[in-house]
Amino acid sequence: MSHTAPLGAAHHAPVLSAEVRAAVAAHRPVVALESTIIAHGLPRPRNLRVAEELEGLVRSAGAVPATVAVLDGRARVGLDKDQLERVAQDPAMRKLGHRDLAPALAAGASGATTVSATAFLAARAGLRVFATGGLGGVHRGWTETQDESADLRLLAGTGITVVCAGVKSILDVPATLQRLETLGVGVLGYGTDRFPGFYLSSSGEPVDWTVRSPEEVAEVMGAQDALGGPGAALIVANPVPEDEQLDPALHDPVLAEALESCRELGIAGQAVTPYLLDQLMRRTGGASLEANLAAVRGNVALAARIATAWAAR
């Protein structure tokens, strides 16, 4: 390393893949993708096919995918084929929120990044658009557990546009929307005036702002930049199409059973969300998985169009 390189722990800086680095430098559209959904939110071996499919969706829309993960103590933005395979297949991949990044880098550990860690690393790498399934948020029973996903606080201080199907329906959705308001995170309904419900097209809660095209989202991003001030995320809440949603009549009773079982087993902390998603999948005979995948696909495709509209400005 030359003496002009940054002193200290330069080897802990995020590593952009060559493709992502070139795209960022040339202001071409890039979409950040998280890896926790791959490693901990979807069953093997389908998760690898989904990871590849999502990257393919971004590419076919003319943008560059940047899946984010930590491998052997390196934070990576943009993975090659082998690295993506490892995220999907290695059972030792940890679940890393933003606060876990420094210890993971220092320990040389490997892990998948949640929304909080992905949004942080993607923004550091200069990316503006990020797609996921459903955000974390305030869990039901918050008064007992104080379980609120670190996603919310991180998004409050990170200037990135997150395309999602709302927040996971296993959460207390009205409380999460209230927290987003308090934290100053903007919420745009994409083609809807109802906040989407992750597996369901609508959570029944209203949203204050509706946009109808990627160009409109880019306009909001531009206005946010022009205003200046502390960066906060912009949430583009994109509903799963009604004909691909989970049957709403199935959702509520099955979720109640899953929550009960989670309580009985005393599952807490980072394990709660993967446990509930898995329980819903089992108790709906796989139907929740299909709805989750439909939501993610729609979000990734929309994120690619938003990144393209943003790059064209």
- The contact set with ligand PSU (CB under 6 A) reads 34, 36-37, 40-41, 114-115, 132-134, 136, 149-151, 270, 273, 277, 292, 296
d(CA 67, CA 117): 12
Q: Which amino acid is at 200?
A: L
- Among 52, 53, 168, 205, which one carries the catalytic annotation? 168
d(CA 298, CA 202): 15
| Annotated binding-site residue? 225 | no
Task: Select from ligand PSU, Mn ion, none the partner in contact with residue 239, using the beta carbon and a kind-dependent cut-off of 5 to 8 Å.
Answer: none
Cβ proximity to Mn ion, 83 vs 114, nearer residue: 114
Task: Select from Mn ion, ligand PSU, none the partner in contact with residue 34, using the beta carbon and a kind-dependent cut-off of 5 to 8 Å.
Answer: ligand PSU
Which residue blocks in 79-212 are alpha helix, DSSP H? Answer: 81-89, 101-107, 115-124, 142-145, 150-156, 173-183
| Annotated binding-site residue? 115 | yes
Residue of 34, 100, 147, 151 that binds Mn ion (CB under 5 A): 147
Q: Determine phi and psi for 121, rounding to 5 degrees.
A: -65, -40
Q: Roughly how many angstroms between the first and final C-alpha of the chain, as a whole number?
A: 37
**181 is a catalytic site residue:** no
| Annotated binding-site residue? 147 | yes
d(CA 253, CA 90): 33
Cβ proximity to ligand PSU, 78 vs 133, nearer residue: 133
Task: Select from ligand PSU, Mn ion, none the partner in contact with residue 292, using the beta carbon and a kind-dependent cut-off of 5 to 8 Å.
Answer: ligand PSU
CA dihedral angle for residue 47, residue 52, residue 53, residue 58, rounded to 10 degrees: 130
**34 is a catalytic site residue:** yes
Binding site residues, Mn ion, CB under 5 A: 147
- Give the residue numbers annotated as catalytic, written as ranges: 34, 168
Q: Which residues are annotated as a binding site?
A: 95, 115, 147, 149-151
- Residues marked as binding for Mn(2+)? 147
